[in-house]
């Protein structure tokens, strides 16, 4: 073995493109006997069914080797035996009848013979035959132009690194390496012959890959694997290794042939692709979780439900257990929900949730997060278990210990202008929060904080609106000789306030004024406008004017003072059993007589309040409220919705009233109508006023 690698000879650019980094079909040939004594898996795929050793010519014929002009190799001037002996030195182009793991059937192959003339006996009279796939015709022509010099042959042969070891000697030492091995590893052959090739291993070499190789060699089978090895100067490289046993005529293993390829660039590219894909997958999971958080918060208009939903969505995906705690305007914790990943710990979480919050408010990390600035960056920390007994009760401490106390992360939930609360993630002892979990939690803290703030602001507006609404809607008075009931049910998907209203007004002259109206809109403005209209209508009704005049004057004042947008209303004046009514664009009231007959009060119609009428005539109609009869006045939310027209809704209302028994009271009628006609699909506010004249 020479002490130095032969000087490199420039061979032009085709070589890197020609020689592939995957294992090549390889034969070990006994030159004296002219037989193939070893064929690796790829070579066996080219000539299946042969039992080694086999004559070279027989292997060539079984593989169907042909020259580029289609002539069988053994029928030409050169045979596979000549190639094995190094003639021609530059190798030879040919094709095989079958495909292998690296080549297609009849794909151009470049066959090179490498005599092991410098190997120890008995390998000195043996040679390696390597069949390399060629992908481009231009590369074939370039190789053919290399000439018949030994330096060109050495350049081609040195592209693949070969080693041979002797399993009969202690520790299966190397007995031969080629120049390419020295170039790839940086080790001189003279320094490594007689030693096991484990000197290539290093601190980050995959020990499981080493174990797989050793198990295959012990079993006498071929093994292919890729593992991290180290050069003589300590630099790592990814080594693709194929090691196969060489057996004699009796099937006994005589040597191990190893083929190595430096595939660092390919592995690094693959690792970079996998890292990029991992990054995409991680980002995708993060975005999916953020989307889930946004969706859950958007679905909950109740603040407490939103806090619970946030914890239930986030904590099981990021931690062993954790909680969301939010504070009121004074900084006191007023809502807390604990979630766990493990079902067996849910009872502990619920128990801790119902304890007083002293264990939480005394936490220095929670206090820090609640008072943090916008520049605060949350980071994981080991739970200070030693300090817990001093700031928890024995029951709280026991619950915390059962839930798990490894490390934690406290993320502020930042809304508009202040920190609303904290998202706290805790993992059990022995686990750690990854950097990705920390980043995801930070994103969630920002998005969830804004989402909770939206819910909080909505709830405040809703509570204010409901307070206003309740203050504007009247208490039903006691009316001698009448049974009265009313209901106002806000829409489920709105802010639970709107312009629907009713009124029952005992008048000074002994009559009773009844009104139901609907101001366009579902907000505080609509509620305020409703209050104004109700007050104005009360004033005109108190004067004792007839129904048509009251509605007409209401419309004049609204238009003159621009008090409200468009509104509909119906005003009814009940004197004894006589009803006088006027409808300003409002759905007709219904009158159910004893026995089930239903009358639609469709008269007295004028334009809605706020819309200029055609002419100035006063619209009014009359009806009779006899003993046992029931009057139903309502807003359109009771009868109209997206899947049902107003006409169909009126028909359903008529049929529902007709089906009622005669002995039901006003409250039962009211409840039955709301339950039956809304049926859980309540898209608009519903206002219903029921007046029943009991039988004498």
| pLDDT band (50, 70, 90) for residue 416 | confident
Instruction: Provide the residue ranges of all domains of the chain, joining segments of one domain with +.
Output: 1-159, 160-262, 277-462, 473-692
Predicted pLDDT of residue 132 = 79
Whether 631 contacts 691, CB under 8 Å = yes
Which residue, among 498, 328, 314, 269, has the nearest Cα to 423 in the 3D structure? Answer: 314
Predicted pLDDT of residue 556 = 82
For the domain spanning 160-262, the CATH number is 3.30.450.20
| Residue scoring higher pLDDT (564 or 641) | 641
Over residues 503-514, mean pLDDT: 94
Determine the Cα–Cα distance for residues 517 and 536; give it in Å rounded to an integer: 13
Over residues 397-411, mean pLDDT: 92
What are 685's two structure tokens?
Answer: 């506010």
| Maximum mean pLDDT: which of 242-246, 302-306, 564-568, 577-581 | 577-581
Determine the Cα–Cα distance for residues 162 and 89; give it in Å rounded to an integer: 18
Which residue, among 671, 668, 667, 632, has the nearest Cα to 653 in the 3D structure? Answer: 632
Q: Kindly report whether the global pTM for this prediction surpasses the value 0.75.
A: no
Determine the Cα–Cα distance for residues 268 and 248; give it in Å rounded to an integer: 39
| Maximum mean pLDDT: which of 261-270, 564-573, 620-629 | 620-629
565: pLDDT strictly greater than 80: no
Query: Candidates 3.60.40.10, 3.40.50.850, 1.20.20.10, 1.10.10.10; correct CATH number of 473-692?
Result: 3.60.40.10
Over residues 486-504, mean pLDDT: 73
Mean pLDDT of the chain: 83
Q: How many CB atoms lie within 10 A of CB 541?
A: 24
Strand order in the sheet with 381-382: 333-340, 321-327, 419-427, 407-414, 381-382
Determine the Cα–Cα distance for residues 204 and 91; give it in Å rounded to an integer: 39
What are 293's two structure tokens?
Answer: 């958080």
Query: In angstroms, how far is the first alpha carbon of the chain from the final one?
Result: 128
| pLDDT band (50, 70, 90) for residue 500 | confident
Q: List, for residues 330-348, the tens digit of each pLDDT value.
A: 888 889 999 998 889 999 9
The helix (H) or strand (E) run that includes residue 664 is none
Q: List, for residues 81-133, the tens digit of each pLDDT value.
A: 999 988 887 778 899 999 988 889 999 888 888 787 766 666 778 888 888 78
Determine the Cα–Cα distance for residues 546 and 579; give it in Å rounded to an integer: 10
- 524-542 and 547-561 helices cross at what angle (nearest 10)? 130
* Domains 160-262 and 277-462 equal at CATH topology level: yes
By mean pLDDT, which of 287-296, 484-493, 681-690 is the weakest? 287-296
Determine the Cα–Cα distance for residues 667 and 484; give it in Å rounded to an integer: 7
136: pLDDT strictly greater than 70: no
Q: List, for residues 525-554, the tens digit of each pLDDT value.
A: 676 777 788 888 888 999 889 999 999 888
Whether 601 contacts 621, CB under 8 Å = yes
Predicted pLDDT of residue 120 = 65
143: pLDDT strictly greater than 80: no
| pLDDT band (50, 70, 90) for residue 321 | very high
Q: How many CB atoms lie within 10 A of CB 140?
A: 18
Predicted pLDDT of residue 177 = 86
Determine the Cα–Cα distance for residues 675 and 656; give it in Å rounded to an integer: 11
Predicted pLDDT of residue 452 = 82
Predicted pLDDT of residue 586 = 93
- The angle subtended at Cα 40 by Cα 35 and Cα 44, nearest 5°, is 75
SS3 194: coil
Determine the Cα–Cα distance for residues 244 and 236; give it in Å rounded to an integer: 24
Q: Longest C-alpha distance within the chain, in Å?
A: 136
Residue for token pair 């004074």: 330
By mean pLDDT, which of 35-49, 124-138, 237-251, 498-512 is the weakest? 124-138
Q: How many CB atoms lie within 10 A of CB 94?
A: 24
| Residue scoring higher pLDDT (479 or 18) | 479
Which residue, among 312, 420, 425, has the nearest Cα to 379 in the 3D structure? Answer: 425
| Residue scoring higher pLDDT (175 or 303) | 175
**Can you identify the CATH homologous superfamily of domain 277-462?**
GAF domain (3.30.450.40)
CA 254 to chain centre: 56
Predicted pLDDT of residue 25 = 84
Distances in Å between the Cα of 304 and the Cα atoms of 177, 210, 337, 455 are 74, 57, 9, 9
29 contact partners, CB below 8 Å, separation of at least 6 = 35, 36, 37, 56, 81, 84, 113, 126, 127, 128, 129
CA 29 to chain centre: 58
Instruction: Quickly list H helices, 92-178.
Output: 137-144, 150-157
């Amino acid at each position: 073995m020479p002490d130095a690698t032969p000087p490199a000879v420039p061979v032009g650019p085709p070589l890197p493109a020609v020689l592939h980094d995957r294992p090549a079909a390889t034969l070990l040939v006994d030159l004296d006997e002219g037989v193939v004594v070893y064929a690796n898996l790829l070579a066996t795929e080219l000539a299946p069914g042969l039992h080694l050793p086999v004559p070279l010519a027989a292997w060539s014929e079984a593989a169907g080797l042909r020259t580029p002009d289609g002539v069988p190799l053994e029928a030409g001037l050169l045979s596979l035996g000549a190639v094995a002996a190094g003639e021609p030195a530059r190798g030879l182009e040919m094709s095989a009848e079958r495909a292998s793991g690296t080549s297609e059937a009849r794909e151009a192959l470049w066959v090179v013979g490498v005599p092991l003339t410098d190997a120890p006996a008995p390998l000195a009279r043996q040679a390696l035959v390597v069949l390399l796939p060629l992908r481009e015709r231009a590369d074939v022509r370039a190789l053919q132009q290399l000439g018949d010099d030994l330096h060109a042959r050495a350049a081609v042969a040195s592209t693949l690194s070969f080693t041979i070891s002797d399993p009969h000697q202690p520790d299966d030492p190397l007995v031969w390496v080629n120049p390419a091995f020295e170039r790839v590893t940086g080790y001189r052959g003279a320094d490594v012959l007689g030693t096991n090739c484990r000197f290539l291993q290093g601190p980050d070499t995959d020990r499981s890959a080493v174990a797989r190789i050793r198990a295959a060699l012990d079993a006498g089978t071929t093994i292919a694997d890729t593992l991290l090895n180290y050069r003589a100067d300590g630099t790592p490289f990814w080594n693709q290794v194929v090691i196969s046993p060489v057996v004699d005529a009796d099937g006994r293993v005589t040597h191990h042939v190893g083929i190595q390829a430096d595939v660092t660039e390919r592995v690094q590219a693959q690792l970079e692709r996998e890292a990029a894909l991992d990054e995409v997958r991680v980002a995708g999971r993060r975005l999916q979780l953020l989307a889930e958080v946004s969706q859950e918060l958007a679905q909950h208009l109740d603040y407490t439900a939103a806090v619970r939903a946030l914890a239930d969505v986030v904590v099981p995906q990021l931690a062993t257990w954790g909680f969301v705690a939010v504070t009121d305007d004074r900084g006191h914790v007023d809502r807390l929900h604990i979630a766990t990943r493990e079902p067996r710990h849910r009872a502990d979480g619920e128990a801790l949730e119902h304890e007083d919050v002293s264990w939480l408010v005394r936490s220095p990390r929670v206090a820090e997060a609640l008072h943090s600035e916008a520049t605060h960056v949350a980071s994981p920390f080991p739970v200070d278990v030693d300090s817990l007994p001093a700031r928890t009760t024995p029951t709280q401490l026991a619950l915390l210990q059962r839930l798990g106390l490894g490390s934690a992360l406290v993320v502020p939930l930042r809304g508009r202008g202040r920190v609303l609360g904290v998202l706290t993630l805790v993992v059990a002892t022995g686990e750690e929060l990854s950097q990705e979990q920390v980043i995801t939690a930070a994103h969630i803290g920002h998005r969830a904080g804004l989402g909770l703030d939206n819910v909080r602001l909505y709830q405040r507006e809703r509570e204010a609106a409901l307070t206003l609404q309740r203050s504007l809607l009247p208490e039903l008075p006691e009316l001698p000789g009448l049974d009265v009931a009313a209901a106002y049910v806000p829409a489920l998907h709105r802010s639970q306030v709107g312009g629907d209203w009713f009124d029952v007004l005992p008048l000074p002259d002994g009559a009773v004024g009844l009104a139901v109206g609907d101001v366009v809109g579902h907000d505080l403005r609509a509620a305020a406008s409703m209050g104004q209209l109700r007050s104005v209508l009360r004033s005109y009704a108190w004067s004792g004017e007839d129904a048509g005049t009251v509605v007409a004057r209401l419309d004049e004042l609204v238009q003159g003072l621009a008090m409200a947008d468009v509104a509909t209303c119906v005003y009814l004046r009940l004197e004894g059993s006589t009803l006088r009514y006027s409808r300003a664009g409002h759905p007709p009231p219904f009158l159910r007589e004893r026995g089930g007959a239903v009358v639609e009060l469709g008269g007295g119609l004028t334009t809605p309040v706020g819309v200029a009428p055609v002419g100035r005539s006063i619209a009014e109609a009359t009806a009779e409220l006899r003993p046992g009869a029931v009057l139903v006045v309502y807003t359109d939310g009771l009868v109209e919705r997206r899947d049902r027209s107003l006409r169909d809704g009126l028909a359903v209302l008529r049929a529902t009233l007709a089906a009622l028994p005669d002995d039901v009271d006003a409250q039962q009628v009211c409840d039955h109508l709301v339950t039956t006609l809304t049926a859980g699909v309540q898209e608009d506010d519903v206002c219903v006023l029921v007046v029943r004249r009991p039988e004498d």
